[in-house]
């Protein structure tokens, strides 16, 4: 039985993708509960940090920024798509986030 065209195209694309080897030698993990994003025509900037203020009624909040990630718009689009898929899987397993 012949394969559906979509299956053959998918296998062809997968065969062309290189195998990724993750180098975790210099990997550091950091907890962040705050993210902010800005952009220009050439880049998307993500700032990650920690909000340690527990008083939600405070007039001013200080965020300790820990990391700034600068992406091309193309990489930012791939990240957006990846996060959308990840959150859909998460909500299927654990319920919808409001």
* DSSP label of 54: -
Number of residues assigned to the chain: 98
Overall pTM surpassing 0.85 (yes/no) = no
Report d(CA 47, CA 70) in Å as an integer: 9
Q: What Cα–Cα distance (Å) separates residue 96 from each residue in 45, 57, 80?
A: 28, 27, 18
What is the arrangement of strands in the sheet containing 63-71, beginning at the earlier edge strand?
A: 34-39, 44-51, 63-71
User: How do residues 27-75 score in pLDDT, each as one tens digit?
Assistant: 999 999 999 999 999 999 999 999 988 777 778 889 999 999 999 999 9
């Amino acid at each position: 039985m012949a394969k559906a065209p979509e299956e053959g195209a998918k296998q062809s694309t997968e065969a062309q993708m290189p195998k990724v080897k993750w180098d975790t030698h210099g990997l550091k993990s950091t907890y962040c509960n705050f993210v902010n994003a800005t952009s220009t025509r050439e880049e998307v900037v993500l700032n990650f940090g920690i909000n340690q203020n527990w008083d939600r009624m405070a007039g001013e909040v200080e965020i300790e920024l820990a990391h700034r990630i600068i992406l091309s718009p193309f990489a930012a689009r791939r990240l957006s798509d990846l996060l959308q898929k990840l959150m859909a899987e998460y909500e299927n397993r654990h319920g919808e986030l409001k």
